[in-house]
Each structure stands twice: as structure tokens, then as C-alpha cells.
Amino acid sequence: MISEAARCVKCGLCLAGCPTYQLSAIETMSPRGRIALVQALSQGQLAVDDYSHEVLGSCLLCRRCEAVCPSAVPFGALMDRGRELVRSRQGWKERLAIALLSRRVWMRLLARIGKAALPKATPLGKMLTQTRFDAPEPEELRRPRGTRTVGRVGLFTGCTGSLFDSVALEGATELLLQAGYEVQIPRGQACCGALDAHGGNAKRAARLLSINEVAFASAGELEAVVSIASGCGAQLAGYPALGGKHRDVCAFLAQGRVISRLRFRPLEKRAAVHLPCTLENVLHGGEAVLQLLERIPGLQIEVVGKKGECCGAGGTALLLRPEMAGKLRQPFVQRLGELSPDYVLSSNISCRLHLQAGADTAGVQFMHPVTLLAQQLIRG
Ligand code: SF4
Ligand code: SF4
């Protein structure tokens, strides 16, 4: 993997789009600087210290650099390796955040405490108020009613998705059923492993990967494994046994033979669409979201933010570097204020929460694009 770093020809084409370089104007805080640092650390030319941990830990993992790199340097994988090297310098807050957010049971417990303690007016408090801890587990296999079955897909729920975005999971399921697909939701699936991989815990990330590969391998012949959160999707796309089959839910639904089976009721409203960096830079799925939303007659669609730009919620910035996360969010919030939309749609729950926390949200509904599509779906 480290040999891949040698592909970097130091052209600097990635610098202009890197949010941490734009904020700091420091070479080490750029993709090129980080690649050089990972090389130096792995070859023993530099010792691991707090500064190297900060340089690598502050990367948002938006992978905008990777998307523009002419040498195809696999920046995401290099950064995971770099974070493994500096893991010994992680503070307790970082360790705790990663441990809590990647374990469904702990997150559920934390969410219950937050629901009781957080003011309901805050975005997180509002979301927790709507979280049903007694909601039944989704059925493992759902079959389309009264429609010819055209195939079967696996649905990846994720640890945050199953707890906080069950509405989007249900919406995705309804759209897939209406398009004629059986939806298999294997019970044995686990967290995608992104948080552990990005936190330098390669061993746990590999363990989660193999749990998920086994869970989906036992789900029968699947045309695709779809996920709703682009952050999870970016991780699943790199699974050796799943990579080729993984699709973001919107990319799957937007395929001509699938979308042709879906009809939507008109909606004379305005939607601001946020296309997360992981969706654009890794999954290349932004266009599919727009194609789907354009099928809702009357819906006005405005994209918020530049292509592949991170809103500040990337990596662990939202939890551990709130000041930087807030600065990067500002242009998005300003644009939302100018647009005054009825809906803000984003495929990643952490981006959605982050934007909701910063925007004037009176009368605005924040949701996953598939939630709005399912709301307008003509069934039957
Ligand atoms: S664009 Fe690619 S090759 Fe050029 S400096 Fe950035 S990482 Fe290196
Ligand atoms: S992943 Fe994003 S934040 Fe990290 S170096 Fe690349 S462009 Fe910069």
C-alpha cells in the first residue's frame, strides 16, 4: 500500500480543492503533504508525534483529492494506513467516540440517554425524540405485492441508519418493492467498519468486513447490495467480495430498467439537495440522486455546494473538531438561507444533522432523498 504513495508526482492539482489546505494554507495539511508524511512515517524517517497525529487526524476523508488526482493515488486507503501508524497518539475522546459510534448496542444506549437529557429544540434532540427504540426489526425478506418479481437485492442497514434513519430504510425498501425487487435484510450484518478503518483500527475493520461478507453471501443470489448512507457506501464499495455488487440506493434506482417502473405524485415545492463528498468523490452517485428527484413533477431542485465539497461533517471533524466543521459548513448554510427551501435532502445522516444544526430550520424538513421519493411514490 505504501508503495502506492510513490505514484504521487507532487503536481499539486489536488491542493485547490482540499478544505483543510484552504483553511490553513499549510502544505502539511494538504493531500500532497499528508502523503509525504505517511511515506516518511512508514519508512521510519519521522517519528510518530502529536503533530503527525493532528495532520492525519484532521483530514476529512472527503477524498476530493483522490477524485482529481491524475496519478490515481488511492488516498483513502493511504490515509487509513497513516491513521493506523499514528493511532498510539489518539486521545481518550477520539477512542471513545469511535468505540461508541461503531457499536450498535452502545450507540442505542447513548441515544436513550441523549433522548432523555438533550433539549428537544436541538437537531440531535429532535432526531432522538423521533427515534423509536421499540420499533420492530425489519423483516428479513420482503416480497413485492401484486407485481412480477424481477430480482432480489440485499439492503445494508448500517449502525446509524438502523437507529436514526429507519424512515429512509423503509422508504428505500418501498421503492425497491415497487420496482419489483425482493429485499433481503440479513440479520447477521454489522457496522460497515468505516469508523474503525478511519480511526486506525484495521483489525476490527477487517473483522466487520468479513461478518458483512458472510451475512450477504448467505442471502441468496443478489443482483446488488444497496446502502442508503454514502459514508457507509464508500466503505462497502471497497469490500473485495462485495465491491462489485455494492450500489448506492439512488444509483440502483436510477437505472433505466428500474426507474421506468416507478411513478411519483406531483409536488409543487422547492428542494435544496446536498450531495455528500463521499457520494460524489467515491461513489460518483450525485447525478443519480438528481435524476430520481427530477421524476417528481413540479419539484424545484437546487444543488447546494460545489461538486465534491465537504460540508465539514467528514471524518471525525463533527465530533472532535467542531470549530473547523462549523467554518466549512458556513457557505452551505448561507446558500440554504438564500434558497429558503421546503426540503433539504442529503444522502448522509451526519451531513444532514450537521447542516440542520447550523441552518435556520423553521419550516424546513431535512431528509434522505429516498424518504421524499417514497412519500411521493404512486403505489400499486
Ligand atoms: S493530484 Fe495526485 S499526484 Fe498530484 S500532488 Fe495530489 S496526490 Fe500527488
Ligand atoms: S481527503 Fe479531503 S481533507 Fe483529506 S486531504 Fe483529501 S481533499 Fe483534503
Whether residue 19 lies inside any domain: the answer is yes
Q: What percent of the chain has pLDDT over 70?
A: 94
Q: State how far the Cα of 235 lies from the Cα of 259, in Å rounded to an integer.
A: 26
Q: Residue 91: is its pLDDT beyond 90?
A: no
Last residue of a domain, one of 39, 74, 89: 89
User: Is residue 107 in a domain?
Assistant: no
Query: For residue 349, which phi and psi values (nearest 5 degrees)?
Result: -65, -35
Tell me the mean pLDDT in the region 264-293.
97
User: C-alpha grid cell for residue 123?
Assistant: 437537531
Q: Where are the alpha helices (DSSP H) in 64-131?
A: 64-68, 75-85, 92-101, 104-117, 123-130
* pLDDT score, position 128: 65
Ligand 1 pocket check: which of 18, 39, 65, 281 to mutate, most ligand atoms within 8 Å of Cβ? 65
Residue 178 lies in a domain: no
Residue nearest to atom 3 of ligand 1 (CA): 8
At which of 41, 61, 89 does a domain end? 89
CATH number, position 323? 3.40.50.1860
CA 157 – CA 169 distance, rounded (Å): 7
Task: Report whether pLDDT(162) > 90.
Answer: no
Helices (H) and strands (E) in the chain, counts: 22, 9
- Residue 168: inside a domain, yes or no? no
- Going by pLDDT thresholds of 50, 70 and 90, the confidence category of residue 75 is very high
The residue written with cell numbers 433481503 in the block is 184
**What is the pLDDT averaged over residues 281-288?**
96
The reported pLDDT for the residue numbered 134 is 59
176 within a domain of the structure (yes/no):
no
At which of 60, 89, 118 does a domain end? 89
219 assigned to some structural domain: no
Cα(150) to centroid of ligand 1, in Å? 44
Catalogue the long-range contacts made by 16-20 (C-beta closer than 8 Å, 24 or more residues apart).
Answer: 17/64, 17/65, 17/68, 17/308, 17/309, 18/64, 18/65, 19/60, 19/62, 19/64, 19/309, 19/310, 19/312, 19/328, 20/58, 20/59, 20/60, 20/324
Q: Examine residue 289 and state whether it is found in any structural domain, yes or no.
A: yes
290 class by beta-carbon count within 10 Å (0-12 exposed, 13-18 middle, 19+ buried): middle
Between the CA of residue 254 and those of 13, 176, 248, 288, 360, what are the distances in Å? 32, 11, 10, 6, 31
Q: Taking CB atoms and a 6 Å cutoff, what residues make up the pocket around ligand 1? A: 8-14, 31-32, 35, 65, 69, 71, 73
Ligand nearest to the CA of 83: 2
Record the cell numbers describing residue 21, joined without a space: 489546505
Query: Which atom of ligand 2 is closest in space to residue 60's alpha carbon?
Result: 3
Residue 255: left (phi > 0), alpha (psi -120 to 50), or beta? beta
240 against 26, higher pLDDT: 26
> What are the percentages of helix, strand and coil residues in the chain, rounded to 5?
50, 10, 40
What is the rounded average pLDDT for all residues in the chain? 89
Q: In 3-state terms, what secondary structure has residue 19?
A: helix
Q: Number of folded domains in the chain?
A: 2
pLDDT at 145: 82
User: pLDDT for 1-17, tens place per residue?
Assistant: 678 889 999 999 999 99
- Check pLDDT > 90 for residue 139: no
Nearest CA, atom 8, ligand 2: 18
Q: Which atom of ligand 1 is nearest to the CA of 12?
A: 5
Q: Is 337 in contact with 360 (CB distance < 8 Å)?
A: yes
CATH number at residue 22: 1.10.1060.10
The mean pLDDT of 197-224, rounded to a whole number, is 90
The predicted pLDDT at position 303 comes to 97
Q: Which domain range does residue 42 map to?
A: 2-89
**pLDDT band for position 50 (50/70/90)?**
very high
Higher pLDDT, 244 or 122: 244
Mean pLDDT is lowest, of 105-114, 208-217, 300-309, 351-360, for: 105-114
Instruction: Give the neighbor-by-neighbor strand order of the sheet with 181-184.
Output: 141-142, 181-184, 151-156, 224-227, 246-248
On whether residue 359 sits in a domain, the answer given is yes
CB-based burial label for 146 (10 Å; 0-12, 13-18, 19+): exposed
Is 33's pLDDT higher than 90? yes
